[in-house]
Structure formats: C-alpha cells, structure tokens
Chain A
C-alpha cells in the first residue's frame, strides 16, 4: 500500500469516524476506526512510519474537534506503541488476528488514557468515569472491531502473511 492509498484510507476512516461512527456506538462508546488503521500501520510498517501515520491521522481527527493537537498527541503515541510490535522486532512471524486485537487494545488504552486525561483537565468531567467508561470501554470495543478486521485480513490472505510487503 503506497502512501497515497494510506492517506485516502485514513481520510475515509476519519470521515466515517467523525460522522457516522455514532451508528456503531453502544452506550455512547464508539470504536476508534482511525486508531485501528494507525495500529495496522504500526504492525505492518514499523515504529517510524507508524509514528508519522499516527500524527497525521490525529491531525485529521482534530478537524472534528475543538481541541487541536489532542488527537495528534494521543495517536502519535498509539502509532509508536503499535510500531513496537512490527515483526522486525519479534522475528519473522506475523501477528494473528487475536494478537492484532491485543496490540490494538494496548494502543487504544494508552491513547485513551492521554486523550481523556487532557480532555477532562480543567473541566467538571470526572477523569475516572471517563477512563472507565470511554477509555476502557472504547479500547475494548476498538479491539473487538480490530479482531474482526484481523479475521477479514486472514481470510482474504488465505494463510498468506497479511502484513507482507508484497501486498504493497
């Protein structure tokens, strides 16, 4: 996947996230589709590209927010963390769907922790309520969606490495 395709996918996901993700919301908790894309970039491309992808994706999501820089900050961190699970660091074996979901959960957890900590600062919003409900719940929901995404990737790859560079 070349950078332009990545960019386009990100744009679409950001648009979906900013407009119709509410449809997928369960008790106001929505999955972070952009974050899944960032995590995917991380495990596929490595830390350096994923950090950049996270920053750009975060900037795009900030268009839908009043707090500029907040999305960029937290998604940069998420990209960096997910890049840590690139196969160059783990040996040759690619992540399976469950592992992808696990990495997504971890990245989303860190993402949400910083996001809601900064988001709730100086407001009447309770940080712990936000973290438990939206932070933890959102991370779990995002991981579940990432799991489904992982299964789709494996089915499409039919046993081949879904993160293979040949795919690019």
Chain B
C-alpha cells in the first residue's frame, strides 16, 4: 500500500493532468454540439482503426488455423469427389451391363476383373467368379461392347479368361452386312486391333463393316460383336483378303464383364471331333 502511494506520488503530475483533462472532457461531452458529434465520430473511427491494427495478430493466427482446416477439408472433398466420379462411372458401366443382362436371352453371371495381364502375347484376365457361380471352362466372356474372350481355367471362386487379344485365341466370325465368314485372331502387336482371316476375295467386305461371332462356333453364341473393319487389303499372292479389325472392346479399360453360362453342345463337339479324327 505504501509502495503504491509512493508510486502515485511519484506520478502525481501526470495523474493530476489526466484527472483535469478527464474533467474537461466530461464538461465538453455534456453538451451536444456539432463539435462533440464530430469528436465522437473521430474517436470511434480512431478506436476502430486501432482495433484493426491490433487485431491483425489474432486474425493472422486464426487465418493460419483456418488455412489448415481448409486444406484438410479440401483433401477430404477432393477424395470424395474422386470417389463420387468413380461411382458415377461405375454406375454408368453397370447400367449398360444391366441393360445387356436384362435384354439378353443368355444366362449371364456378372464378374469383376480382379487381375489382368496385357503385357504378354497370351493375355488373360482373372475374374472373381468360379465354379461356385456355375462358371466353367470354354464359357464365353462378354461385355455390353462385345466379345471379350473365354474361360480357360476355373477354381471355386475364380476364373481365368483367355482374351480375344491372345495369340492362341480363335473365333469363327462373319461380316454382318455381307454374311462373309472368316476367323478372327489377334496378330500379337496392337491390343486394339485384330485380324479377320480366311475371307475369300470373291466376298464383298468394306471398311466400316461390323464383324460378329458366327453361328458356326460351338462355344460362342452367334451375333456377339467383335469389331469393325478398319482396313481391307488384297493379298497379291493369295485368295483371301487381309482384313484388319478395330476391336469393339477396350481391353485396357476392362473392369466388369459377364460370363455366359453355356456349355458347348456335347453331341456336336463329339461329332466334329470324330470327323477330325477320320480326316487325319
């Protein structure tokens, strides 16, 4: 207390000055004049601008905090947007597949591609369906775009499919417009292109013709889309056209497929096997 008093006495000039100035201002403010209103306005402005200078620091730290929050939110939203985009694309694909399934007389089982190898000459896919789903060897694999390949190996829960873009794959095909018959196979270079072979030059084939599976195949149902004729060249030394197809299915983007649960006609297969043996 004594120290406080000593302190007050030490600053008595300033305290007195403040007291008298305060009294003067009180007197001044007791009257409502234009000067007073202006002074009040200036005071409010001054205090406001001082607050503006003083409050930048907490606002700065607040902004840093907000920035962190916004970044986190941005990452979360970007992730959500990606997932939604993915879901939308998946939805589109599934709708197309569902449309195929509902409109098709075939017995289809949907499958997801869980493994894919497109870097080899003998390209394959692994599907998440197997014998437990009624899937067996030689069953065709298709999408809404067309023929994908056939099942070559199965386990209880998985199946391995041989793709159209596999050097060992062959399928009997026909040109939709002219009904010209041939065999489709992959040349082994470009996964977007195949070849239609064994089409004699006497048959009319044009660029843009659609090529489908023929009814001659014991494995594949007829009229599955394979591709579109991209180029037709005449082989000067042979009797066949050299026809290149643009595949209907994009094998690089293959995600959902259907397996057609059909078994080859055993009688037909046996008969054709007998014929082959006889000719040999």
Contact = CB atoms under 8 A, between A and B. Distances in A.
Interface string A109-120: 000000000111
A136 B35 CA distance: 21
Nearest to B33: A67
A45 interface: no
B13 A83 contact: yes
A67 B28 contact: yes
The prevalent SS among residues of A at the interface is: helix
Nearest to A124: B34
A109 B33 CA distance: 25
Nearest to B28: A69
Contacts of A55: 20, 23-24
A62 interface: yes
Given A67-B28, A118-B28, A123 B34 contact: yes
Contacts of B26: 69
Task: Sort chain A's interface into a size bin.
Answer: 20 to 34
A62 B24 CA distance: 10
Given A73-B28, A77-B21, A118 B35 contact: yes
A94 interface: no
Given A72-B20, A121-B42, A122-B35, A47 B13 contact: yes
A73 B35 contact: no
A89 B38 CA distance: 39
Nearest to B42: A121
A23 B183 CA distance: 127
Contacts of A51: 13, 16-17, 20
B17 to A, nearest CB: 5
B27 A68 contact: yes
Interface in A38-87: 47-48, 51-52, 54-55, 58-59, 62, 66-70, 72-73, 76-77, 80, 83
Given A54-B20, A67-B31, A68-B28, 16 more contacts: A47-B13, A48-B13, A55-B23, A59-B27, A62-B27, A67-B28, A69-B26, A69-B27, A72-B24, A73-B24, A76-B24, A77-B21, A80-B13, A119-B35, A122-B38, A123-B38
Interface of B: 12-13, 16-17, 20-21, 23-31, 33-39, 41-42
7 contacts: A51-B17, A59-B27, A68-B27, A72-B27, A73-B25, A120-B35, A122-B33
